[in-house]
Amino acid sequence: MPESASTPISVLIVDDQQLIRMGFRMILDAEDDVDVVGEASDGSEGIERAMALKPDVILMDVRMPRIDGITATRQIVSAQPSARIIVLTTFDLDEYAFGALHAGASGFLLKDVRAPELTSAIRAVHNGDAMLSPRVTRKMLDLFSHRVPSGTSETPTQSLPLAELTPRELDVFREIADGKTNAEIATVLFLSESTVKTHVGRILGKLQARDRIHLVILAYEWDVVPGDS
């Protein structure tokens, strides 16, 4: 969460294309509440700069020489669990980007993202939200289902933290796993959006999840079947 309303969001840009870095910096430098504190040209340098600068948000390319964005994301999140990383990709359904999400990123954006969407995404992840559309969430889950065998969790289902969820929280968890937004969950479960938001916060706390993306990943790994769409 932001330390204060007047504290700019510090951002590190990691991309091997100089023009991409320059373009993003130009957009972000125009925002009063965003401060680009550094740049890196590959994953290795990105890890070093992230450790030294501890930025609030990192824009991370996934396809880079030396160390790719997946490895860099995993190492940064492992060392700094509070790190918020948005992965950058050229393709809408990039398996590299999905790999970075599994490694701990908070969402991904296409490199041709419009300026308002870029700044909105940075503010969103800085505030603890995940930047990922329901459509991409479902595609991500489909991808994982083909790559991770069912039942790989080392913890028996009955002893998972799921046991701590109330029946209604479990309902909300299933809908999150299906990629639904708070508004959609509210409609399906006949709840107010504020109530859904409260449930989501409690679920994140009980399952010790970083964000909604982490919840989707846990839902698959624990064989939690999403609710009917």
- At 29-52, the pLDDT tens digits run 999 999 999 999 999 999 999 999
Which pLDDT score, from 0 to 100, does residue 134 have? 56
pLDDT of 228 above 90: no
**Mean pLDDT (the chain, rounded):** 83
Domain boundary assignment for the chain: 9-131, 152-221
Q: Please list the residues that pair with 14 across neighbouring strands.
A: 40, 60
| CB-count burial class (<10 Å; 0-12, 13-18, 19+) for 47 | buried
pLDDT of 111 above 50: yes
What gap in Å lies between CA 196 and CA 42, rounded to an integer?
A: 40
Find the mean pLDDT for residues 5-31.
92
Which pLDDT score, from 0 to 100, does residue 1 have? 46
pLDDT of 206 above 50: yes
- Using DSSP, state whether 6 is helix, strand or coil: coil
Second-level CATH architecture of 152-221: Orthogonal Bundle (1.10)
* Percent of the chain's residues with pLDDT above 90: 45
Which pLDDT score, from 0 to 100, does residue 51 have? 96
pLDDT of 89 above 90: no
Which pLDDT score, from 0 to 100, does residue 109 have? 85
Report the Cα 182 to chain-centroid distance in Å: 16
Which pLDDT score, from 0 to 100, does residue 225 have? 62
Which pLDDT score, from 0 to 100, does residue 28 have? 96
* pLDDT band, residue 19 (cuts 50/70/90): very high
pLDDT of 83 above 50: yes
Fold agreement (9-131, 152-221): no
Closest CA relative to residue 196, chosen from 171, 218, 179? 171
Which pLDDT score, from 0 to 100, does residue 183 have? 84
Which pLDDT score, from 0 to 100, does residue 23 have? 94
The answer to whether the CB of 153 falls within 8 A of the CB of 221 is yes
Kindly provide the residue ranges of all beta strands, DSSP E only, lying in the chain, ordered along the sequence: 9-14, 34-40, 57-61, 84-89, 107-110
Which pLDDT score, from 0 to 100, does residue 135 have? 60
End-to-end CA distance of the chain: 32
In Å, what is the CA distance from 187 to each residue of 160, 172, 194, 195, 219?
28, 11, 12, 12, 21
Kindly provide the residue ranges of all beta strands, DSSP E only, lying in 20-161, ordered along the sequence: 34-40, 57-61, 84-89, 107-110
63-78, pLDDT tens digit by residue?
A: 898 899 999 999 999 9
Q: Which CATH class is domain 9-131?
A: alpha beta
140-189, pLDDT tens digit by residue?
A: 666 665 554 444 444 444 446 788 899 999 999 998 887 787 888 999 99
The answer for 151, left when phi > 0, alpha when psi is -120 to 50, beta otherwise, is left
Give the pair of three-digit tokens for residue 182: 């708070």
